[in-house]
Amino acid sequence: MQPQAELLVDARHGTGESPVWHVGEQALYWVDIPARALWRWDSASGQLSSWLAPEMLACIAWGGRAGRWIAGMESGIFELQIQGAALQTKLLAPVAHPSQNMRFNDGRCDRQGRLWAGTMHMNMGLASTAGALYRYDATGLHKVIDGLITSNGLGFSPDGRVMYLSDSHPTVQSIWTFDYDTDSGTPSNRRLFVDMNAYPGRPDGAAVDADGCYWICGNDAGLIHRFTPAGKLDRSLAVPVKKPAMCAFGGAGLDTLFVTSIRPGGDVDLSDQPLAGSVFALRPGVRGLPEPAFV
């Protein structure tokens, strides 16, 4: 029997993204991009907290010390400090976007604690290839891969030697793997891992489990797919919304798969998915790995 998705937070986010399980706090953090909001759910009490940022928050990574987070936003990489009800932000590295109306999107740390984050044009209808993938570490912000439309699906194998990247734009819908030099933080030998045109949904945010399998949100299909390291579809789990955005392992045993989602705006009929934009939890029967902190 397939595990059923449990409603964790009835939040109705415009774009719920970047779930990160904080092991020390036993809490889930995530963002709502258009609302410029950082959210936290405490697993012991069920308490919800949120903080507003001055720009759209797209991706977050735990910063390794109390109250500190690293975030990809509109104008660059920021440090976030939670201070009671306030969120203090500090620009760490500005980004030189090649055009207007761009922001960071999907991102996470590699196993060594370097932040990887991609950029995109906010008007997806343009299919602009101005997006790029950046690495941020102690040496600064570096553009590593360009020519992307909607950068997504970042993940790293358990040993850190394989990097995953997707482009979720409807004209691409591809997931790639790279050999990854863990010493220098350099990806190489890019190759197609999965052509998502052959499967339901566009490849959005992702997570890697302790077995080395790759979980990818099938945006528009209401599915979370698990692929083996060889690129074979292992299973697909359903959520009660059409647009799952990103997934992350967490919980006391790292055996819960948390899934954020998107609530379409405008005149879209949501009668068949009233919970669109909410956060869900699945128990897929496998464990994840602790999310690395930024160093």
Instruction: Give the whole-number percent of the chain exceeding pLDDT 70.
Output: 100
Q: Quick check: is 119 in a domain? A: yes
Residue positions annotated with a catalytic role: 204
> Does 295 reside within a domain?
no
Structure tokens at 157: 């194998």
Q: Looking at residue 198, what is its pLDDT?
A: 98
pLDDT of residue 266: 82
- Give per-residue pLDDT as tens, 27-85: 999 999 999 999 999 999 999 999 999 999 999 999 987 779 999 999 999 999 999 99
Q: Let me know if residue 291 belongs to a domain.
A: no
| pLDDT on residue 268 | 86
Give the closest residue to 12 by CA, choosing from 243, 169, 200. Answer: 243
Domain that holds residue 88: 6-282
CATH of the domain at 99: 2.120.10.30
Full-model pTM:
0.97
Closest residue by Cα to residue 55 from 76, 69, 40, 70:
76
Who contacts 235 (Cβ-Cβ below 8 Å, separation ≥6)? 2, 225, 226, 284
φ/ψ bin of 174: left (φ > 0), alpha (ψ from -120 to 50), beta (otherwise): beta
- Is the pLDDT at 172 greater than 80? The verdict is yes
Total domains, the chain: 1
Q: Is residue 289 part of a domain?
A: no
